[in-house]
Every structure is written in structure tokens, then in C-alpha cells.
Amino acid sequence: MRESPQIQTVAPDVARIRRRLLAWYDAHGRALPWRTPVGRADPYRVWLSEVMLQQTTVAAAIPYYEAFVARWPTVRDLAEADLDAVLHAWQGLGYYARAHNLHAAARIVVRDHEGRFPDNAESLRSLPGVGEYTAAAVAAIAFSRTEAVVDSNVVRVLGRLLAADEPLDVADARIRALARELAPSRRPGDHAQAMMDLGATVCAPRAPICGVCPLSGDCAAFPTGRPESFPRRPPKALRPRRQGVVFWTLGGDGRVLLRKRPLTGLLAGLMEFPSTDWREKPWGIIEARAQAPAKAAWRLIEGTVRHSFTHFDLDLAVLSGRVDAETSLGCCSQWRWCALERLGDHALPTVMRKVARHALGHDPSAVGLGQVS
Ligand code: SF4
């Protein structure tokens, strides 16, 4: 069996890493719509992009970012917007708590800070949805503060520079200490973005392109011949699978029934088609019908709608039924009848848009689904 080369444990040359990283960034950094020359960054746009990039890829975030700044070009515009409009614009980006926090934080910036973002990480952290990473990123990029900005890309790059072989929760302290050591006083925002870009484009999770990496001479993982194995990844947690039954409820006039979800919890404040609870135990049809919004001749639509949330996978069966407009609906929900061609006007989460496509795909009289795609 071939032995792996020994891991070198030389202390990183901080000045050389900074210099090489910035030189690489100046030549190869990504051109992204929220990036501006040093000293001209708009804190609102930096913050908006960083919130969108939590849990979302750059490619997926760009069209949302551009739509948001076109519609709400300043933090004051966003603060004055209706929450429903913000949730609707966020539709499809997922993790809707971010949209709630975005709106709440904009209002706080306007109400408590005269429309100006706090200019340091500690004060930024007082805003809803702004954690350690986002605060450090906004402080470094928008206000040139010397901050260690550590996202998953940076953990990977630094974990490899150190050839961190211990479990990631143990290696974390070493990685963060190196991030703090590396954070420069000159161009701290560019340094942070350079580290992110290197992780995203060169030091990729499974196949790092070490041959073009400006830090290969400083990287302890590179000479091992297996850089992709650093830092050691924690085992993947198993996600539970939940089941639910959705009621595709058509009125006599062809409109479909929606309801608003509670303002807290999963998919807070978004619209949905009525459904049973989502639980791990499968639903029997009779048991599910007891949670229907009204009495109807419910018919099972063939097939299953599948969706993955962060912490669980979901399988939804869909029952279709027609009810009279006069039918009294179950209490305690904010019901809304909606013409099928107006579904796109509502903040429907991706899972509910899948339900609509599924139901309409089985309805020969269905209208096109362009509005909810
Ligand atoms: Fe990542 Fe390879 Fe560069 Fe090391 S040399 S930082 S493993 S890309």
C-alpha cells in the first residue's frame, strides 16, 4: 500500500499568504453585481447580498439581488415595503426566515440609525438575521474593518492550509485563529472576498485545482497528494422523512383555496394550499380527510410531491375536491380564494408551487402554470 506523505506543520507565512491572495484576487476575482471598488461599497447592497448568499449559491442569488435593488434601491425603500411584497419577491429563494429578518432589520436601521447601517461588526450583530459571519463580512467589505470573515469556503481553504486532520469541530478553533491572524488592516474586504472566491473557484470541495492555486506553496494539504480529504468532514446526519396530505380545493367558479401560514415557524407568513400536519407516520385517507378544509368528494391525484427542507424530506399526497362557494370552511385559518391564473401573485413557497404543478398537470381543464413556475 502506498503511504501518504507526512503532513508538514510549518507555521503559515501570513504576509506571503496575504500578498499572494490579493494578487490572485486582483487578476481572477469574480465580477459580481454587488461588488464595487474599495471605498465605494454601499452597506445596504453588501448586507443584502450577504443575507441572500446565506444558504444560496451565487448563481441563484444574482437574479434575486438584481430584482431587489431595482425595486428597493435603498434601505429606506425596503423598510417601507409591505412584508407580503418582500416575501413574494423572495419566493423560490428558500429559507424565508431570511426575508422576515431582512425586512425587520431594514426597519430598525431606518428607525434607530437614521437609515445608516452600523459601521462595525458588534453593532451589526444587533440586527435581526445578522450573525457572526454576516456582521464580519459587512464590516470588512462595506466599512474596511479588520475582521476574520469565516464561511464554509474559508473553513475549507484554511483547513487545507493547515492540513487540519482532526474532526472539524476540534479544528474549528485553529482555523478561526488563522483567519484572525490573516485578516489585514489594508483592504480587509478584498482579502475576505478573495478567500471566498478562492474557495468557490479553485479550492473546491471534491476536486481542488491546486495547480493554479496561489497558495499551493503555503498549503500543508497540497503535498499530501490528497488535499480534498482536508478538513475532515463530519458524517452526514440522516434526515427524517415526513408525510402530509394537501387539499387542492376548487370552488364552483374554478378558483382554488389558499391559506396563510402562521407568522412564526417554517415558511412563516407564506401562502399554502391547506394540508394536514406534516409528520413521520403515514396518513390514511380517512384520517387525512378529517383535516380537510370542507366536506367534498375528495379524489386522490396519482403520484407524490417530494420536497427537501434543511432538516427533513417531505412527501405530499394531493387530494382534489370541489366545494360550493357557500361552503363553510374550517375556522382558525386565513383563507383566500384565488383564480388559477393569479397564483403567481401570491408568495407561494417552492413546495406549494410543486403541488400546483402536480395538481394542474392532472387537471384536463387546467390553465397554464407560467404564473407559478
Ligand atoms: Fe486548496 Fe490546493 Fe490551494 Fe491547498 S493548494 S489551498 S488544497 S487549492
Low-confidence ranges of the chain (pLDDT < 50): 1-3, 364-373
Q: Is the Cβ atom of 155 under 6 angstroms away from ligand 1? A: no
Which residue out of 216, 226, 229 has the highest number of ligand 1 atoms within 8 Å of its CB and is therefore the one to mutate? 216
Confirm whether 50 is a catalytic residue: yes
Q: Is the Cβ atom of 275 under 6 angstroms away from ligand 1? A: no
> What was the pLDDT predicted at 293?
92
3-state DSSP of 40-97: CCCHHHHHHHHHHHCCCCHHHHHHHHHHHHHHCCCHHHHHHCCHHHHHHHHCCCCCCH
Ligand 1 center from residue 242 Cα (angstroms) = 40
Ligand 1 center from residue 222 Cα (angstroms) = 6
> What was the pLDDT predicted at 313?
96
Q: Where are the domains of the chain?
A: 14-229, 241-372
- Using left for φ > 0, alpha for ψ between -120 and 50, and beta otherwise, residue 265 falls in left
Separation of alpha carbons 287 and 14, rounded Å: 64
| Ligand 1 atom closest to the CA of 208, numbered from 1 | 8
DSSP character string of 130-167: --HHHHHHHHHHHH--------HHHHHHHHHHTT--SB
> What was the pLDDT predicted at 55?
86
Which residue out of 222, 224, 232 has the highest number of ligand 1 atoms within 8 Å of its CB and is therefore the one to mutate? 222
pTM summary value: 0.83
Kindly report the protein residue whose alpha carbon is nearest to atom 6 of ligand 1: 157
14-229 to CATH, choices 1.10.10.10, 3.40.190.10, 1.10.340.30, 3.30.70.20: 1.10.340.30
Kindly report the protein residue whose alpha carbon is nearest to atom 5 of ligand 1: 216
Q: Is the Cβ atom of 143 under 6 angstroms away from ligand 1? A: no
pLDDT one-digit tens code per residue, 173-205? 999 999 999 999 999 999 999 999 999 999 999
Which residues fall within 8 angstroms of residue 85, CB to CB, at 6 or more apart?
Answer: none
Closest by Cα among 247, 259, 205, 238 to 308: 238
The one catalytic residue among 50, 122, 326, 341: 50
Q: Is the Cβ atom of 221 under 6 angstroms away from ligand 1? A: yes
In this structure, what DSSP letter does residue 226 have?
A: -
Largest CA distance in the chain: 77
Separation of alpha carbons 177 and 352, rounded Å: 44
DSSP character string of 184-213: -SSSHHHHHHHHHHHHHHTS-SS---GGG-
Ligand 1 center from residue 164 Cα (angstroms) = 13
Residue 76: half-sphere exposure toward Cβ, Cα within 13 Å: 4
Closest by Cα among 193, 66, 200, 65 to 141: 193
Looking at the structure, give the CATH architecture of the domain made up of residues 241-372: Alpha-Beta Complex (3.90)
Inter-residue contact 202 to 212 (CB < 8 Å): yes
> What was the pLDDT predicted at 326?
64
